Structure 1
Amino acid sequence: MGLFDQIIGAIGNSSQQGNMGQIGNILNTVQQLSNNAGTDPSTMQSVLGIVGGQVRSALQQKRDTEGPEAAQEVVNQFGDTSPNPQAVNSLFAPFVQQQLANTVAQRTGLNAGVVQQLLPSVVPLILNVLRTGASSQNSQAGGNPVLNSFLDADGDGDVDISDIMQMASRYLGR
């Protein structure tokens, strides 16, 4: 089952945190970020896709070195629609943040400084998407299928946050 299917499943499952309001808030925040950055939503979705790939790598490393609970803890602690520089710092060293901003700038045409300013908003959004699969009774409980799909346990590499945003937009009729 794909990541989008996992998210939709979480929305329909009362034992998981995902709900339509959460997805709507995420999409609204993406639109606001696009407006604030003076760019179109497709560029912002590209930003989310590029940053999402790096978030995946950082969470995979955290899972592999500290265990799956550590990755879930980052998602629980920082998954939100509010900007949070600590979310970025929890996953990326300062030099990695700069490299990421430069990569995003090269691939999207946005200014690297603008991208650097977007990171504290974009990283929590990505983590918020992943939080949809966490247990609504015990967010520390293992088995977050959304996070597991994102981390792509089968190793096929078939995960892209920008695709998820496009599908969610269509699903909600936006």
Structure 2
Amino acid sequence: MGLFDQIVGALNDPQAQANAGQLGNLINTAQQLSTQLGASPETTQTLMSVAGGYVRSALQEKRSQEGDESVQTFVNEHGGTNPDPVAVQGLFSPQQQNQLIETVCQRTGLDSQTIQSLLPMVVPMILNFLQTGTNTQNPRQAQNPVLSGFLDADGDGDVDMADTLKMASKFLNR
């Protein structure tokens, strides 16, 4: 089941945090990001997809070292639509940040300073998507199907946050 299917499942689960307002805020923030950049939606989508792959790897590593509950706590603390440099620093070493920036530069044509300034906005947005499966009765519980599905994906390197944003937008008729 794809990431978007997991999110829709969370929308239909009364014990999950997901709601249409949360998805709407994420979509609006992504659209505003595109406008701020003066870039095409495709450029923003590529940025989200590449960053999503790096976030997945970092969270998988965090899970293997610290456990599921630690990952869920990190997602709960840093998921949002406001810039959060601590989220970037908490997931990526300086070397990983540089690799991420270089990859996004190559794939989008954006300059490295722009990408570096965007990461504190993009990473919390991705974490906010993952937060949608959080159990509202017990937010620290590690049984978040959206987060688990994201981390346990097939490893094909295709973490399509861009597709997820598009589908969520269509789902909400935006």
The equivalent of 2:126 in structure 1 is 126
Q: Say whether the 8 Å CA contact 2:3–2:149 is kept in structure 1.
A: yes
d(CA) in 2 for partners of 1:170 and 1:153? 23
Q: Which moved more, 1:72-81 or 1:151-160?
A: 151-160
Separation in 2 of the partners of 1:162 and 1:154? 18
**Aligned counterpart, 1:152:** 152
Contact residue 10 and residue 16 of structure 1 kept, 8 A: yes
Correspondence for 1:55 = 55
1:23 alignment partner, SS class: helix
Deviation sequence 1:84-122 (CA, Å, 0-9, x none) = 000000000122212211110110111111010000000
Alpha carbons 1:152, 1:159 under 8 Å: kept? no
Measured at CA, do residues 111 and 154 of structure 1 come closer, stay the same or move farther in structure 2, by a change above 3 Å?
closer
Q: Which amino acid aligns with 2:117?
A: Q
Counterpart in the other structure of 2:14:
14
Alignment-derived partner of residue 70 in structure 1: 70
Please show how residues 3-42 of structure 1 align to structure 2 within 5 Å: 3-42=3-42
Amino acid at match of 1:124: P
Distance verdict in 2 for CA 1:14–1:87, change over 3 Å: same
TM-aligned CA deviation for residue 143 of structure 1? 1.0
Give the aligned residue type for 1:120: P
Maintained 8 Å contact 2:104/2:110: yes
Number of residue pairs the alignment of both structures matches: 174
Structure 1 runs of 4+ with >4 Å offset: 153-158
Structure 2, unmatched stretches of 5+, are: none
CA distance in 1: counterparts of 2:144 and 2:111, whole angstroms = 35
Show the counterpart of 1:162: 162
- Flag structure 1 segments of 5+ consecutive residues without an equivalent: none
> Could you tell me how far apart the structure 2 residues matched to 1:122 and 1:31 are?
12
Q: Which amino acid aligns with 2:3?
A: L
Deviates more, 1:96-105 or 1:156-165: 156-165
Q: Normalization by structure 2: what TM-score?
A: 0.95
What SS does structure 2 have at the residue aligned with 1:82? coil
Say whether 1:112 aligns with 2:80.
Answer: no
Separation in 2, partners of 1:127, 1:99: 20
Q: Contact 2:48–2:161 at 8 Å: present in 1 too?
A: yes
SS at match of 1:100: helix
Shift of 1:159: 3.7
Give the CA deviation at 1:22. 0.3
Q: 1:151, 1:124 → 2: CA distance?
A: 16
